[in-house]
Each structure stands twice: as structure tokens, then as C-alpha cells.
Chains A and B, each alone.
Chain A
């Protein structure tokens, strides 16, 4: 039983406080339905399951879910640009029912196309409504979206979810950074959605070019981040919160999957998985064994339970995470992944025999006062040995403390990543600046 007062804290108190056993029952029911849906309508899925000797009716228990073959991004690339053009035979609805086209950013290869029906698009907005409401968005908010409204899904669904909640939405599409800041100031916007890199870049531009201190002169008090892990990296989150005088919340999603995880206002040190919409499993990276217990890292394999045009069933996201031990004080029963997505299985690499996630370097650099927000780590082979160089910038007013800062950086890198680095200090403002997905870790060993 949910009391009315408590109900106000949730977008849907019934779903968000469902006991875990009921949640598993719901997930299994929906999982069976979506597998059957795909089997009946998509040659791609039918062939995949038949080759594995699996019929939808074979899925009887929660444990059977792991028997269903996984789908990798490369498989989606292979089937696309064929009939029915351009999506290929994973499409489960007639082409005339597709109302939305988006594509992945292509960071890891050829972009994957994503068709959605009008129902899927409503579903996208519904997923985002859960997360924005959990982050305190309400009908009195004026939400500014400083992103290029284009073929990438980015914050599109955030726009429609904010509308659904009843917020006033200001699309900051083609404006440049300065114009966006001035519009935020003019309209007294209260919330914003952007990548961590752009959140920090906007604050920098506001101070340097417009003489505006976002924390004092602007009214943004909530920022929702996506696209990069920064909002779950405590030092980066702190920089953003201090720069804007706002609470910064993370969320995680992908074009092929949907918006599947979010931080709530309790900021429990992790992200809730929206388990009513997504069946999320952690798998041991080496053995493939399903991980249910907290404290053990695994790769996320995920199913969007109600997405119909191009279903996402047991998608190998390559994201690495671990379950948190403790429940969240917010009262949601959606489980939490501790510290958010800690890396990608593709990115976690061995350097000098040490396993490292690039996010660990970001955590160190952004924790040291005097270093600018930009950095670049480059790994090469020198003979048979790995060699890693970290390029950094000092803020101009930190030049006087240069040696102290560099010693602190070396010590922290050694402590947190177990590696020694060649440190290169570059002039302020000379390293590349990014607006969307930043590429600050470059492993050049694979390219000779």
C-alpha cells in the first residue's frame, strides 16, 4: 500500500517499490512475450534462436533467460542496410509503422540504425520520465536543452519526458554556447541536460567569455548528464556541482537499448536500474556466469522488455558494473549498480600488465585543484614495453604551484592506477575541447 504523500516521490510508486520477487515475475512474463514477438516477426531472431536449439516456449524460469543467445553490436551492423531497407531483418513491424529514425554515434565502428514506432517513442519518453522525476524534475521546472537536435538519440527523449512531466522545455538546439548561456540567464531556466564535458565547457565559457559565474548568476539547480561516465566519477561530479551550484545526476542509456539506469535525488553512490522496463544481468567477463551477488564486476547484458520495432533482447552492452549491497534510502526497490558504469569491457585494458579503466585516470585528474578539465592519455609500444603519456593543462592561476600539483598528480596516479606516467604539461586551452562524446584515452598499440 502506497500512501498519497509517499506517492508524490515517485513517477509510479506501484512499479518503483515492487518487491524483488514480484519484479522478477514481471520481468519473466515480459521477457517471454518479447522473445515470442521477435521469433514470430524477425528472421534474424528466429535464425539466432533456432541455431541455438531454442524455442520461445523453452523459457520457463528466470534462470532460463541466460540460455537465450546474446546479440552483439557487430551482428546488428551486419544485418543493416539490407531489406527491409535500411534496417534489415531484425525489424519486427511493417516499415510504414516506423515513425522515428536514430543512429548510434559510431564511436566503436559503423553506426547502427535504430527504428522506432510511435509506441516505442512514447516508451522512450516514459523511461526518461521515470528518471527525470526521480531526479526532482517537476511541472514548475523550466528545462533548457543545449544539444544539437539531430540523428543521435542524445537528449531527445529527455525533451519529451520533461514535457510529459509537465515542465516547460526550452530547446537550445542550434544556438552556440554563449547564446545558450545568455538564454538560460534570460529565461531563468532551472534545469539542464548535457554531457559532462559540455557542462564543464559551458561553465568555462560563461566565466571566461561572458563574465558570468554559473553558480551565482544563473538559476540552474539540477543537471542531468548522459553520454559519458563523468557524472558518476566523484571528482568530475564535484567540479560540475561547484561550477553550477547545482545537483548533478547521472543516467545511463544507449540508442539500441533505451534509458535503463538513473541516479535519484538520494545520490546513493550508484544508479538505479529501471527493472520494470529492462531485464539487466551481469555476466562474468571471462566465464559468462551470471552474477547476482554484490561486489563482483561483470558485463551488462540487457533486454528492453517493451520495445517492439527492433527489439533489444540480451544485448551485450560491453558496459562493466557491479551490484550495490545496500538498498537506496529513496525507497525504490530497483537495484543499484555501484558507482554507475565503471567502464566498457572494450576499453578496460592491460598496460604494463596492470588492468585499467580510463575512468580511473579521469577520477585522478579531476580531483586535483589547479588542473584544467581537459587531459589526454596516450598509450604506445616502445619496443616490447607499454608506454603511457598523460597530457594535462594547468589553469593559468595555478602556475605558481606547478611542482606541488605535478607531485600530487604523480602520487595519486600511482596510488589509484598502479602505473607510472610520462607527464606532459601543455599550455592552457591547447588540448582538444569536446562537446559530445570525448575521446581522451588513446590506445595506439593496436595500430602498431
Chain B
């Protein structure tokens, strides 16, 4: 896996995280949005552990 591809993945991970956080911000308290966005963020954390956390070690 090239560093460029890792960086591209990290960029997408950050975008997903930003989008999930924005969903929560705009939800107006709709639980169906808040809780599902929280679940997305838990999965995003696993992507960070698997990709983003390694990035600065490899660069």
C-alpha cells in the first residue's frame, strides 16, 4: 500500500467523520438521525485505528 493511497483513505475517513458529525448537528434532536450517526462514528473510529493512526508513522 503506497503512502499516497493511505493518505487518500485517511482523507475519505475524515470526510465521513465530518459528515456524521454534521448530521448530528443538523438533526434537530431526531433520534433516528443522532443514534445512527453515532453508530457511523463508532465505525469511523475503527477506520481511524486501522488506517489514520498508522499514517504519521509511515510518512
Contacts and interface: CB of A to CB of B under 8 A. Distances in A.
Partners in one complex: yes
Interface of A: 1-2, 7, 12-15, 18, 22, 25-26, 29-30, 117-119, 121-123, 126, 276-277, 306
B44 to A, nearest CB: 9
Interface stretch (B12-20, B21-29, B51-59): B51-59
A26 B53 contact: yes
Interface of B: 1-2, 6, 38-39, 41-43, 45-46, 49-51, 53-54, 57-58
A306 B51 CA distance: 14
Given A26-B57, A119-B41, A12 B1 contact: no
B50 A122 contact: no
A22 B53 CA distance: 12
B43 to A, nearest CB: 6
Looking at A25, A122, A277, which has the most chain B CB atoms within 10 Å of its CB? Answer: A122
Contact of B58 (A12, A22, A29, A118): A22
A333 to B, nearest CB: 13
Nearest 8 Cβ contacts at the A-B interface: A119-B42, A122-B42, A118-B42, A22-B57, A126-B46, A12-B50, A119-B45, A25-B57
Main secondary structure of the interface of B (DSSP, over half): helix
A122 B42 CA distance: 7
Contact of A14 (B6, B39, B46): B6
15 contacts: A1-B1, A14-B1, A14-B6, A14-B58, A18-B54, A22-B57, A25-B57, A117-B42, A118-B39, A118-B42, A121-B42, A122-B42, A122-B46, A123-B45, A276-B49
Contact of A2 (B1, B41, B42, B45): B1
Looking at A2, A30, A118, which has the most chain B CB atoms within 10 Å of its CB? Answer: A118
Given A1-B2, A25-B57, A122-B46, A14 B51 contact: yes
Nearest to A120: B42
Nearest to B49: A306
Contacts of B38: 118
A121 B38 CA distance: 13
Contacts of B2: 1
A243 to B, nearest CB: 36
A276 B53 CA distance: 10
A180 B53 CA distance: 42
Contacts of A119: 41-42, 45
A312 to B, nearest CB: 16
Contacts of B39: 118
A13 B51 CA distance: 11
Given A1-B1, A14-B1, A123 B58 contact: no
Nearest to A308: B45
Nearest to A121: B42
Contact of B54 (A7, A14, A123, A306): A14
A123 B38 CA distance: 14
A58 B43 CA distance: 32
